[in-house]
A = this chain, B = another copy of it.
Amino acid sequence: MFVVPLIERKRDGGRLTAEEWSALIAEYAEARVPDYQMAALLMAVVFRGLERQELAALTDAMIASGQRLSFEGWATPRVDKHSTGGVGDKVSLVLAPLVAACGVAIPMTAGRGLGHTGGTLDKLEAIPGFRTGLSLAEAKAQVQRIGCALIGQTPELAPADRRLYALRDVTGTVEAIPLIAASIMSKKLAEGLNALILDVKRGAGAFLPGLDQGLELARTMIALGEDRGCPTTALLTAMDRPLGRACGNALETEEAILALRGEGPPDLMEVTYALGVEMLLAAGVERATTKARKRLEDTLGSGLAAEKFEQIIEAQGGNPRVLDDPAVLPQALVVEVYTAPRTGVVTHVEPRTIGRAIVAMGGGRSKVEDTIDPTVGFVISVKPGDKVLAGEPIASIYAKDANGAQLGSNALAQAIVVADRLLEPPLPLISHRVTKAGVEELTLTRPPRVVRKAGSRD
């Protein structure tokens, strides 16, 4: 096909027809359109954007490049959650078994760590034996049997997105809202869902830090989902600090297990419950927020959520003993305590610095082919607003050697800022709810204040 006129039209602010997007993506998926033409077009899209119909056509074309999960004739409602990515975000590991234990099926495709952010697949693979590479048929059978599968993007699902994503990653065309939305939604909409809940991160540690960007991304994804018959709701949540305390693959998996046992940190639980409420409402298994919230709390408190995670781990080849004994997880060789450099108030726990340090310490990838060390990371027991005393332990560093520990210590010295007082409040933990009807500001949801005794260690 003759691509140059399409590139020129987009460059000059015009639009491509649905047929053009469809043909272009089909040819690209078959490597009949060269990468250099697609790269030029993607950069033009970064500047010119996509109209709603173009974005829909692009997303449909990416879905059409692969197979779709189909649950035809199966009455159980299916809902998934997607997060735009952050540091310390282990919500999926708690939320998926919890909601599945409430009778909603979760056919979840998850991602790997990207840039400074962690990835659910990497966290799951910290569990010895856990296999994320199920085929679509295996995933479907598992969802129908135990209500949940946690898998990677198989080559069967939206393969055009895989090719496009890899190209965007090396051509400076990642940060474009329509391209982000099409990439996420092409995978999610191929899962055969009844509804989708989005966790759109905002703040310094998010890929799109600004509130306006987050809202635009949410609206764009919601329009895509709704237009394709998949009711979609988004919550905007804070990523100006890590979520929970643990940052790093095995450490986060351990924290998720603690959460499923009722010992999760308050901010992690708050985000998990808020997303879970949306999922239960969207699935139609509950009709009121308060009842949905209570059902989630009860299910977690009863141990049924932890049991569901055990089933999932066992079904996917992992060692289910990890639920009772997190020491089954690989352990870091070097653990060091990090103490407050001065007395004062924590003003920042900067997530990008922390996320990048984990990559540098071996816990993330710089290149696709890198293998990662799941043991490294941090447990940070302070949040912005907490008072600390000089010399008080406020974090632990988990590293593979002394060099790594030094890297980690330097990163914390940069990321955790202690000053006389908090100059600006941290972002509200959950600030906005976005549906097809519009944006609702959740002024009542303030970051939960953790009552914390000075000198205590988590």
Q: Give the copy number.
A: 2
Most buried by B among A3, A35, A39, A46: A39
- Separation in Å of the A193 CB from the closest CB of chain B? 33
The answer to the question of A8 belonging to the interface, with a C-beta cut-off of 8 Å to chain B, is: yes
- Separation in Å of the A406 CB from the closest CB of chain B? 24
| Alpha-carbon distance A148/B326, docked complex (angstroms) | 83
On whether the beta carbons of A172 and B36 are closer than 8 Å, the reply is no
Most buried by B among A4, A35, A43: A43
> Contacts A35-B36, A39-B36, A39-B37 hold; do A4 and B171 have CB atoms under 8 A apart?
yes
Taking CB as reference atom, which chain B residue is nearest A171?
B40
On whether the beta carbons of A11 and B172 are closer than 8 Å, the reply is yes
On whether the beta carbons of A40 and B172 are closer than 8 Å, the reply is yes
On whether the beta carbons of B39 and A173 are closer than 8 Å, the reply is no
On whether the beta carbons of A44 and B172 are closer than 8 Å, the reply is yes
| Alpha-carbon distance A46/B46, docked complex (angstroms) | 12
> Contacts A35-B36, A38-B36 hold; do A11 and B170 have CB atoms under 8 A apart?
no
| Alpha-carbon distance A167/B36, docked complex (angstroms) | 8
The answer to the question of A224 belonging to the interface, with a C-beta cut-off of 8 Å to chain B, is: no
On whether the beta carbons of B36 and A171 are closer than 8 Å, the reply is yes
Taking CB as reference atom, which chain B residue is nearest A43?
B43
Checking B4, B46, B169, B175 against A170 with a beta-carbon cut-off of 8 angstroms, the contacting residue is: B4
Main secondary structure of the interface of A (DSSP, over half): helix
On whether the beta carbons of B170 and A37 are closer than 8 Å, the reply is yes
| Alpha-carbon distance A355/B175, docked complex (angstroms) | 41
Contact with B along A181-196 (1 / 0, CB 8 A): 0000000000000000
Chain B residue contacts of A251, Cβ below 8 A:
none
Near B by CB (< 8 A), chain A positions 24-67 give 34-44, 46-47
Taking CB as reference atom, which chain B residue is nearest A4?
B172
On whether the beta carbons of A43 and B11 are closer than 8 Å, the reply is yes
- Separation in Å of the A183 CB from the closest CB of chain B? 17
Chain B residue contacts of A35, Cβ below 8 A:
34-36
Chain B residue contacts of A36, Cβ below 8 A:
34-36, 38-39, 167, 170-171
On whether the beta carbons of A171 and B47 are closer than 8 Å, the reply is no
Chain B residue contacts of A173, Cβ below 8 A:
40
The answer to the question of A247 belonging to the interface, with a C-beta cut-off of 8 Å to chain B, is: no
On whether the beta carbons of A172 and B46 are closer than 8 Å, the reply is no
On whether the beta carbons of A40 and B37 are closer than 8 Å, the reply is no
| Alpha-carbon distance A239/B44, docked complex (angstroms) | 29
On whether the beta carbons of B44 and A11 are closer than 8 Å, the reply is no
Chain B residue contacts of A7, Cβ below 8 A:
171-172
Taking CB as reference atom, which chain B residue is nearest A45?
B43
Chain B residue contacts of A38, Cβ below 8 A:
36
Interface residues of A (CB under 8 A from B): 3-4, 7-8, 11, 34-44, 46-47, 167, 169-173, 175
User: Other CB < 8 Å A-B pairs besides A4-B172, A7-B171, A40-B173, 15 of them?
Assistant: A4-B169, A4-B170, A4-B171, A7-B172, A11-B43, A34-B36, A34-B170, A35-B35, A36-B36, A36-B170, A37-B39, A40-B40, A40-B42, A43-B43, A43-B47
